[in-house]
Amino acid sequence: MKQPQQTLLDLFNKLSEQDAQTLLRFAEFLATREGTAVSIALSETVEVSSVSVTIPQPEKIERPEQERVVDALKRLTATYPMLEKKHLLNKASELVAQHVMFGKPAKQVIDETEVIFAAAYEKFVAEFKKD
């Protein structure tokens, strides 16, 4: 085995299950850019210029009845592992601040945060289909 492959395998073995799945999805994405058709369980395949691109579907994680805002953020980042977290969490932090500093109800903040994540996913899918 070549050194880069061994290094990648060593790093992969150190990852959490969620991070390992994210790395696999990213590797599959990179492989699709090179024209290699790769499929992921629970995914949608879209034909783009004779290259098969796989769009990962959100993980199915049920929302608990009594959920804290921080737990909702963790659930949503696990639900949408394919999305860029930096931008989403920046938007969500404004809602968290409204909850913590101004007493906005947790349920309302969580509902609005779910809308932000769902909209980001729809944009993510639209970008794949547009190319």
pLDDT digits (tens, 9 = 90+) for 19-35: 777 777 777 666 665 44
At 12 the pLDDT is: 77
Q: How is the chain split into domains, by residue range? A: 1-57, 60-131
Cβ–Cβ < 8 Å for 115, 72: no
At 42 the pLDDT is: 46
- Averages of pLDDT over runs of 10 residues in the chain (131 residues) are 79 80 72 50 49 78 93 93 86 90 94 94 84 57
DSSP state letter for 43: E
At 29 the pLDDT is: 65
At 131 the pLDDT is: 57
∠ CA 101-67-19, rounded to 5°:
100
Cβ–Cβ < 8 Å for 11, 20: no
DSSP per position, 60-87:
--PPPSS--HHHHHHHHHHH-TTS-HHH
At 40 the pLDDT is: 44
Give the contacts of 68 (CB within 8 A, at least 6 positions apart). Answer: 106
| Reported pTM | 0.60
Q: Per DSSP, what are the bridge partners of residue 43? A: 56
